[in-house]
Amino acid sequence: MSMHEPRDVALGMAAQDADRALVARLQRGDEAAFREVVARYHMALLRMARMYVATQQAAEDVVGETWLGVVQGIERFEGRSSLKTWLFRILMNRARTRAVREGRNIPFSALASNDDDDEPSVAAERFIASGPDAGHWSSLPRAWDDIPEERLLALETRARIQEALDALPVNQRSVLTLRDIEGFSSAEVCNMLDISETNQRVLLHRARARVRQALEAWLNEREDA
């Protein structure tokens, strides 16, 4: 398998050195190094895989195949991308293969299209409909600065975010997960998902807007109670 490795410009020097050391240990077959990358990335890979295949078991298989691919491919890994990007690219490849075998190619064709969703970022009724102030807020968003951090970080708040995430179309969910949860750059995500910068941005925008809406509904509800 030859895998194109996109450059990670954003990766800092210290992170690069740590990455290189870890790769060198993996290339020597160091079990502690393998355990380290498994601890760091296994669950994230599983979450990503689960979006593309029908069952949890299939997702686990895909991640297992990914780890096998890592062990087999690490010798040829040249470090032009981060280890993490390389891992996720192997995963996406395996997940794609599996989805095709399952006859589930929907996520990938859906990645190319934005037509499934034309919802505005903020509901039209939040804006003044006509007159000189048309298009301006009729009900202002409130600042969240005064909400105590422990409430923002409460398990219930995170559960609402997770719910909103789960309700997203798979193309939006993939982009949002890779960008805002896993912390990949837009260039990396475009490369992993084979989508254009513009497409990536539109999907990210819609996904973030929906999660913000869910958070606003939840935080306002708590405030009004």
Interface with another protein (CB under 8 A): 29, 31, 34-35, 38-39, 42-44, 46-47, 60, 64, 67-68, 71-72, 120-122, 124, 127, 132, 134-137, 140-145, 152-153, 157-158, 161-162, 165, 176, 180-181, 183, 186, 197, 201, 204-205, 208-209, 211-212, 215-216
Give the shortest CB-90-to-another protein separation in angstroms.
14
Closer residue to another protein (CB): 57 or 109: 57
Closer residue to another protein (CB): 19 or 65: 65
Closer residue to another protein (CB): 73 or 79: 73
Give the shortest CB-105-to-another protein separation in angstroms.
26
Give the shortest CB-205-to-another protein separation in angstroms.
4
Closest CA to 169 of 46, 81, 52, 69: 52
Give the shortest CB-138-to-another protein separation in angstroms.
9
Amino acid at site 32: A
